[in-house]
Amino acid sequence: MRVAIYTETFLPKIDGIVKVLCLTLEHLNRRGVEAVVVAPDHGGNIREYAGAQVIGVPAIKNPVYPEGRISLMTPSAYQRIRAFNPHLMHSFHPIWTGLAGLLFAKMMHVPALSSFHLDIERVARFYRLNVMSGISRHVTTWAFNRSDYALAPSKLVQSQMRANGVHKVGLWRRGVDAEQFHPRNRSTDMRALLSDGHTEDRLLLYVGRLAPEKQIHQMRAVLERVPGTRLALVGGGPAEPSLRKHFEGLPVTFAGYLTGQKLAQAYASADVFMFASAFESFGLVLLEAMASGVPVVSSRVGGAQDMITDGESGYTFDVNDIDGMVNGVQQTLADPARLTEMGLVARRHAERQAWPAMMDELIACYDALLSGKPSPI
């Protein structure tokens, strides 16, 4: 089988979409599925990944969302795709590059699959671009309906896509590497680093981009209302300067980007993982925290409600419900024995969400599209 994958972002940029794409390419390579990637050229000179050729196309900065790129598809890119002769096209969210993939699929008479990775409608709404929000909803629905099949990352997003008029929507669940993210990675040194030496305090952790839509500033209420808590922020992004000012004088550690073993240690060394995002497609970091044996207190976005059982592995709260967030942390930390038990429950759930099984479901979906059978997911 040969698959051409189109994405709006790729290495060297690091985010949730890139992480899922890299895991997908690694799994396809292990299963003997040939792949190529078509992506905006970020200038990182990435030409191959996990056996897949990377076709970089010219791109300009998105004036509305500067971290994004608007790709400019070229005839040479189309010719390189034709030379690869794919059996199937997979668009990681059809926007610019992905829409070209759908067009190429029609031109080459091969099936097209689109998976949901970025909630553009809610991004626009959050940044008060109300006209763009409505337009993006209609364009997204139109684009997904141009595909032979669509995949949502969570039940919440699946229901939203159906409500917006997308006809054929399956569920491609997200997974976790439960060996990489494991409670055994708990580290005294890492906890000391993240807590600025105050290891006896309760350590709250956030991992991800420091961006306005993540609403990290709301976590200040927890520090002010739950005694003995400290917050560590792992990651970087455009909101870091304003967050440093917002949390000035409070027990907050800005740890920067961490990867590999250090990231695994950061998760496992925390007491509670916090997530206050305004929107999310899934939220891989929630599952990584749970695999590390850490209860999660999260806004009800993306896959949070698919993963977290309130009162057993963490708590969820409505977006912008700061009292609900504070109460969730208070409840989680109220009893040390219960905190330990919640971590064990979180770990057991994560152990059932292994990436290989999720990726094999994707390959089964590819096979179904090629054979004309109903998709198994």
CATH, residue 20: 3.40.50.2000
Question: Is the pLDDT reported for residue 323 higher than 70?
Answer: yes
Give the H/E segment covering residue 25.
helix 16-30
Shared-domain flag, residues 202 and 258: yes
Question: Is the pLDDT reported for residue 95 higher than 90?
Answer: no
Cis before residue 241, ω within 30 degrees of 0? no
- Interaxial angle between packed helices 355-371 and 16-30, expressed in degrees from 0 to 180 and rounded to the nearest 10: 70
Shared-domain flag, residues 95 and 142: yes
Shared-domain flag, residues 83 and 196: no
Q: Is residue 377 part of a domain?
A: no
Contact 308, 322 (CB under 8 A): no
In angstroms, the CA 133 to CA 72 distance is 23
Shared-domain flag, residues 347 and 358: no
In angstroms, the CA 117 to CA 362 distance is 15
Q: How confident is the model at residue 102 (pLDDT cuts 50, 70, 90)?
A: very high
Buried b (16+ CB within 10 A) or exposed e, 131-142: ebbeebbebbbe
In angstroms, the CA 58 to CA 166 distance is 30
Shared-domain flag, residues 152 and 221: no
In sequence order, the 6+-apart residues with CB closer than 8 A to the CB of 371 are none
In angstroms, the CA 368 to CA 23 distance is 21
Q: How confident is the model at residue 46 (pLDDT cuts 50, 70, 90)?
A: confident
Shared-domain flag, residues 24 and 43: yes
In angstroms, the CA 319 to CA 279 distance is 8
Question: Is the pLDDT reported for residue 261 higher than 70?
Answer: yes
Shared-domain flag, residues 145 and 28: yes
Which residues share a beta bridge with 204?
231, 272
The fraction of the chain above a pLDDT of 90, given in percent, is 80
Question: Is the pLDDT reported for residue 128 higher than 60?
Answer: yes
Let me know how many helices (H) and strands (E) the chain has, helices first: 15, 16
Structural domain of residue 237, as residue ranges? 183-351
Shared-domain flag, residues 137 and 189: no
Q: Is residue 376 part of a domain?
A: no
Shared-domain flag, residues 252 and 364: no
Q: Which pair of structure tokens corresponds to residue 371?
A: 């054979």
Q: Which pair of structure tokens corresponds to residue 115?
A: 């998976």
Looking at every residue in the chain, the average pLDDT score rounds to 93
Average pLDDT over residues 226-237: 97
Handedness of CA 192, 290, 260, 211 (dihedral sign): negative
Q: Which pair of structure tokens corresponds to residue 4?
A: 């051409």
Q: Which pair of structure tokens corresponds to residue 79?
A: 């010719």
Q: How confident is the model at residue 67 (pLDDT cuts 50, 70, 90)?
A: low
In angstroms, the CA 187 to CA 67 distance is 33
Contact 4, 101 (CB under 8 A): yes
> Could you report how far apart the first and last alpha carbons of the chain are, in Å?
19
Residue 124 buriedness (CB in 10 A; 0-12 / 13-18 / 19+): buried
Give the H/E segment covering residue 52.
strand 52-57
Which residues share a beta bridge with 205?
232, 273
Q: What is the pLDDT of residue 64?
A: 56
Q: Is residue 246 part of a domain?
A: yes
Q: Is residue 44 part of a domain?
A: yes
Q: How many domains does the structure of the chain reveal?
A: 2
Q: How confident is the model at residue 371 (pLDDT cuts 50, 70, 90)?
A: very high
**How many other C-beta atoms lie within 10 A of the C-beta of residue 272?**
26
Contact 38, 55 (CB under 8 A): yes
